Amino acid sequence: MPAESEEHVGDGGVETQEQRDASSVATDGDHLVELYKKMVLIRAFEEACQRSFRQGKIGGYLHVYIGQEAVATGFLDAFKEGDRAITAYRDHPHVLLLGSDPKNVMAELYGRGDGIVKGKGGSMHLFDVERGFMGGYGIVGGHIPLGVGFAYAMRYQGTDHVTQLYLGDGSISNGAFHEAVNLAGLWGKDGMCPCLFIIENNQYGMGTSVERTTAMTDLARKFDAYGVENEKVDGMDLEAVLEVAHRAAERVRETGKPYAVEALTYRTVGHGAGDFFEKYRTKDEIKKWRERDPIGQLEHKLIERDLLDEDAIEEISNETKETIGEVTKFADESAEPPIEELYTDVYAGEDEYMGEK
Amino acid sequence: MPEVIMPKMGDAMEEGTLVKWLKSEGDEVSEGDPIAEIETDKVTLELEAENAGTLAQLIASEGQDIPVGDAIAFIAGEGEEVPERNGGSEAQAGGEAEEGGDDEDGGGAQAQTATEEREAAGAPSGNGAAGGNFRASPIVRRLARENNLDLSRIDGSGPAGRIVERDVRAAMERGDAQADGQADGQAAPAEAPAEAQPEQQAAQAGLQAPTLPEPTDAPGTQLVEPTRMQRVIAERMTEAKQHVPHFYATVEVKMDAAMALRKQLNEQLEPEGLKLSVNDFVMKAVAVALRNYPNLNALYTSRGVELHEKVDMAMAVALDAGLITPVIRDIGSKGLATISRESKDLAARARDGKLKPEEYQGGTITVSNMGMFGVESFTAIINPPQAAIVAVSSIAKRPDFDESGEVAPASFMKLTLSADHRIANGRDGALYMSEVKRVLENPVMLMV
Amino acid sequence: MATMTYREALKAAMSEEMERDESVVLMGEDIGVYGGTHLITDGLIDRFGAKRVMDTPIAEGGFTGAAIGMAMMGMKPVVEMMTWNFSFLASDQIIQNAAKLRYFSGGQVNVPLVVRGPNGGGVQLSAQHTHSLENMYGHFPGLKVVSPVTPADVKGMMLTAIRDPNPVIFLEAGALYGTKGEVPDGDEGVEFGKARIAREGTDVTLISYGRQVNLCLRVADRLEEEDGVSAEVIDVRSIRPLDEETFVESVKKTHRAVAVQEQWRLFGVASEVASIIQEKAFDYLDAPVIRVSGAEVPAPYARNLEIAAFPSEQQVANAARRTLYIEEK
């Protein structure tokens, strides 16, 4: 918990090293270790997904979060019960961080009946509404208005909950983004939109860099046009993300006004598991960003602060391997959904299905 | 995890080709080293080693197609064992090497859940459009089934002669459309009530059903099912041969005068696009001659011989699927041009299957012309209940004698009458054919 | 019972349900302060306040998506498309989210949303403002689609729509906003999935939806007078779920059917009706089912051209005559 909150409104400024040091020392060491473990698990989960995809066990599209772990881990640390989170299709870590069982998530990717949405959604449509995760969505930008709607409903229903709305740099050019953020700013004037926009700027919309999609590349400042205050953060540094996340979430909760944080991050793998060629960037660039790997950075810090040592790291690594082994085994051995499931949940109410079978 | 598998590199990829090994067995490789070139249906690219070790075993060979998920090589880490080369992959302790991936499409579900499509019957079945199938609306067919009606006895007032509900209702009121199990009625094959079988019909008509041999099924044979039209023709022709006491009379007609008249008339008619055929002349002659021999223009009915004043000339038209006889009504009162036009139109529509029922039902006498097939003479089978049928053969040039006794070429055509001896006797038949011959050899008689 | 216009019936349904249920809110362009372009929501902002009668910016995709989000949280938004012609901008949200959320969330969420607005042509609004979208939205499983004709149906079906836990596409017949009818008192809804027999008859069945139903009623009168033919008229009114039984049973009685649609010929509601009839009542048909559709053109502006672009009484009457094999007039 940072001692004082410094406003970084609209100037896109980044904390100074002293500021960062000050806030990071104040962060609970044990908590950081917990978060480190979570990131390691996410990384291992995503790598396992990729392998399974290549073995043909996961069909359709698969978008993994490798390299971006600090963003979701940091922001969802500020998630409180009753809050909601929504994102696009790179959604595995969000649902895992909110507490869903990785076995059910992997089973969903494998298209099994024990999947978190009964095998009917797949990688892009993970939901765990009980834990506050309102879905992954396949249409770029399409989910953004939904998140703004959640926020309005929260205030309409008299709660102090917050909606965490994750979006990528690719969606910033989409009409849905602009219409939704405009509504957020408008409703925010009356305190009716407690929506925290988190831009996971991994700098590429699939194969197109941000520079090639817009002339004004400062994504945080795009929110100025709609009256939504904003700032940037280094998305590879978990502690920096934690600081912003807690501060911004509380601000949104208090005021009911939306806020946006652009997290600069990088995915060191392709857009989707089938994105093998990656002609749009160089291996050098990827290598450079690997050196800034969020897990590596955190590991380094934790070792320096004597919160972890080599043995502990290896133990965590082995435990994670074991967990993931169980997870994939569970998914492998799970049964496919029964055919009757085809006809359920088309409608809510008595008539789940209207048609011939 | 020493196994190197063929990776899934595209959403729909199911197998890839190992184009080339970039390392050899026994080489040391580091993580990220390219070890092989893989080709998919879209691209060729390099496969990198996922971990360091010794490339211990190359399982796949260059140029081989390998399913996604199958092992193509082994990289042995420090102290790791390499399994026996057995061409397949074996599960390692805690390993993730698997056989080729399942097809994730779930195509099976489609087979089980595709909505059953009921067939919309639409077009009449059986012979297709070839003449003889009625156009009848679905409710008409149902009413016919339910009330045992013979649709061949109902005229259709709908488009293209379609029998529609009001026709059936009217017929039911009149009570004249009941199916009676016999293949009755005129030339066209009837829409027989569903239950009637050929044997059943024959039995009802007092005939013995033929005992037919079983097919041999020997090599070099092929079993062909008769079409409905063929079956009906078979029944009726069989019945005619068994019931009707046929007798025959042949005349040989010298056609030169008729041909000359024809040529002359055709020259005059050419601007109108008309061309009279020999058959037009024959049909007219047959009709003209009937004036003096009216008992050959008759029907043999259950209560006696029904003489007809007007000659309704049935014209045999061969079809791929069988035979049909469209009728030129009151041909005696029509000129050659009219006859020509009508006969061409009826023949064309007969072949296209577009005749209305009233156009092939009825008929008091039939002419069957096989002249175009180079037949010297033949006898035709009567279409019951008609009294007679005239068979027309080819015109052949032969030497003849002129008035002065000199040899001169002349064209001759044979006509053979088949007549029902219950209606006419041999003398009537012979005299009638002489009359036909006279009319054709003196073609001005066609004007009378 | 009370006599009221289509417009008044709509307003009554929405406001009465808003009184009963606080989770119901209205959203749309100029529905609040302006009172609504068709004066349907006039006065409601004074009664319920700006948080419940929300004027939106011109951003159909954005506010429809936000409404979907609100619905997922348990609110019951009623979103107005100023005209359904503007819904194409919202169709990604409607089709990709509203229709499918329950399914791909494995039943974890549902979307109790109503999208409503004037639909159909006939008022010289020309090509971009003239569409009849029953077949387009009716196509998608996960949506419910209705198209009420009478004020009583409008009120009753709007009540049902708001109460339904699923997304409802509520296609109002814009040309009929001013028409009057008897509306029962009380809060009983009209159920979906049941067609209405607007007129009983014995010789031919005329099947339609929206303003074409009234056209069919006029045609039925004509056929009676001019040809002595008794026509049965069926108002489909519920597009999805579609009540097949009513019109199939009718055709089994009359043996003849004409289906009328304002849309273009191919792939429309009448096409669907015709297909179902020949599937389920084949042996009862005395003639093929005839579809009467709009002309294959974008809607024109000029009055006479517009009239010619949509099914006319004469066309429908002659189609009926064709099924009866009597002479067309």
Write down the domain spans for chain C.
2-183, 196-323
Smallest Cα–Cα separation from A73: which of A32, A26, A38, A123? A38
- Interface with chain C: mutation pick from B146, B164, B167, B168, highest number of C CBs within 10 Å: B164
Whether the pLDDT of residue A349 is over 70: the answer is: yes
Using pLDDT thresholds of 50, 70 and 90, give the confidence band for residue B221: confident
pTM above 0.80, yes or no: no
Helix (H, G, I), strand (E, B) or coil at B110: helix
The pLDDT value recorded for residue B40 is 74
Residues of A in contact with C191 (CB under 8 A): none
The pLDDT value recorded for residue A128 is 98
Distance from C-alpha of A15 to C-alpha of A8, rounded to nearest angstrom: 9
Using pLDDT thresholds of 50, 70 and 90, give the confidence band for residue B49: confident
Domain C2-183, architecture per CATH: 3-Layer(aba) Sandwich (3.40)
Cβ–Cβ of C69/A147 closer than 8 Å? yes
Of C62, C103, C165, the CB nearest to A346: C103
- The token duo for B306 is 């029904």
Helix (H, G, I), strand (E, B) or coil at A304: helix
Residues of B in contact with A276 (CB under 8 A): 9-10, 43, 45
Whether the pLDDT of residue B122 is over 70: the answer is: no
The pLDDT value recorded for residue B228 is 66
> Distance from CA of residue C304 to its chain's centroid?
25
By residue count, chain C amounts to: 329
Count of alpha carbons within 13 angstroms of residue B374, beta-carbon side:
0
Of B121, B138, B158, the CB nearest to C325: B158
Cβ–Cβ of B8/A53 closer than 8 Å? yes
Tell me the per-residue pLDDT of B377-402, one tens digit each, with 9 for 90 and over: 899 999 888 999 999 999 999 999 88
- Bigger pLDDT: B324 vs B107: B324
CB atoms within 10 A of CB A81: 7
The top-level CATH class assigned to C196-323 is alpha beta
With the C-alpha atoms ordered B291, B292, B296, B298, is the resulting torsion angle positive or negative? positive
CB atoms within 10 A of CB C107: 19
The CATH number of A3-336 is 3.40.50.970
Helix (H, G, I), strand (E, B) or coil at A123: helix
Distance from C-alpha of B16 to C-alpha of A54, rounded to nearest angstrom: 12
> Cα distance from C129 to chain A (closest Cα, Å)?
22
The pLDDT value recorded for residue C110 is 96
Distance from C-alpha of C9 to C-alpha of C178, rounded to nearest angstrom: 11
Average pLDDT, chain A: 91
The pLDDT value recorded for residue C70 is 98
Q: Exposed e or buried b for every residue in B371-401, given b needs 16+ CB within 10 A?
A: beeeeebeebbbbbbbbbbbbbbbbeeeeee
The pLDDT of C92-99, averaged and rounded, is: 97
Using pLDDT thresholds of 50, 70 and 90, give the confidence band for residue B134: low
Using pLDDT thresholds of 50, 70 and 90, give the confidence band for residue B190: very low
Whether the pLDDT of residue B118 is over 60: the answer is: no
The DSSP secondary-structure symbol of C96 reads I
Distance from C-alpha of B232 to C-alpha of A214, rounded to nearest angstrom: 80
Using pLDDT thresholds of 50, 70 and 90, give the confidence band for residue B133: low
Helix (H, G, I), strand (E, B) or coil at C173: strand
Q: Give yes or no for a contact between B29 and B51, defined as CB atoms under 8 angstroms apart.
A: no
Distance from C-alpha of B287 to C-alpha of A38, rounded to nearest angstrom: 106
Tell me the per-residue pLDDT of A179-226, one tens digit each, with 9 for 90 and over: 999 999 999 999 999 999 999 999 998 889 999 999 999 999 999 999
Distance from C-alpha of B85 to C-alpha of B82, rounded to nearest angstrom: 8
Q: What angle do CA B191, B195, B199 make, to 5 degrees?
A: 95
- The token duo for B417 is 């009458």
> Cα distance from A40 to chain B (closest Cα, Å)?
19
Distance from C-alpha of C201 to C-alpha of B37, rounded to nearest angstrom: 76
Smallest Cα–Cα separation from A51: which of C121, B255, B50, C261? B50
> Cα distance from C215 to chain A (closest Cα, Å)?
30
B369 forms beta bridges with B392
What is the DSSP code string of B343-363? Answer: HHHHHHHHHHT---HHHHS--
Smallest Cα–Cα separation from C305: which of C127, C139, C71? C127
Q: Which of C8, C17, C29, C60 is catalytic?
A: C60
Using pLDDT thresholds of 50, 70 and 90, give the confidence band for residue B194: very low
- Bigger pLDDT: B318 vs C48: C48
Strand order in the sheet with A229-234: A84-86, A163-168, A195-201, A259-264, A229-234
B128-132, B296-300, B388-392, range with greatest mean pLDDT? B388-392
Whether the pLDDT of residue B93 is over 50: the answer is: no
Q: Give yes or no for a contact between B221 and B215, defined as CB atoms under 8 angstroms apart.
A: yes
Cβ–Cβ of A274/B100 closer than 8 Å? no
Helix segments in B86-151, DSSP class H: 107-113, 138-147
The DSSP secondary-structure symbol of B195 reads T
Distance from C-alpha of A262 to C-alpha of B129, rounded to nearest angstrom: 73
- The token duo for A28 is 């609970």
Cβ–Cβ of B139/C286 closer than 8 Å? yes
**CB neighbours of B224 closer than 8 A, spacing ≥ 6?**
none
Distance from C-alpha of A252 to C-alpha of A191, rounded to nearest angstrom: 9
Q: Give yes or no for a contact between A262 and A232, defined as CB atoms under 8 angstroms apart.
A: yes
C171 forms beta bridges with C117
In chain B, the domains with their CATH numbers are 3-76 (2.40.50.100), 129-192 (4.10.320.10), 231-447 (3.30.559.10)
Tell me the per-residue pLDDT of C99-155, one tens digit each, with 9 for 90 and over: 999 999 999 999 999 999 999 988 888 889 899 999 999 999 999 999 999 999 999
C119 forms beta bridges with C173
With the C-alpha atoms ordered C208, C213, C217, C218, is the resulting torsion angle positive or negative? negative
**CB neighbours of C10 closer than 8 A, spacing ≥ 6?**
C40, C116, C154, C155, C158, C172
Domains of chain A, residue spans: 3-336
Whether the pLDDT of residue A232 is over 70: the answer is: yes
Tell me the per-residue pLDDT of A112-122, one tens digit each, with 9 for 90 and over: 999 999 999 99
The pLDDT value recorded for residue B109 is 36
Tell me the per-residue pLDDT of C191-234, one tens digit each, with 9 for 90 and over: 999 999 999 999 999 999 999 999 999 999 999 999 999 999 99
Average pLDDT, chain B: 78
Q: Give yes or no for a contact between A56 and B100, defined as CB atoms under 8 angstroms apart.
A: yes
Q: Give yes or no for a contact between B371 and B393, defined as CB atoms under 8 angstroms apart.
A: yes
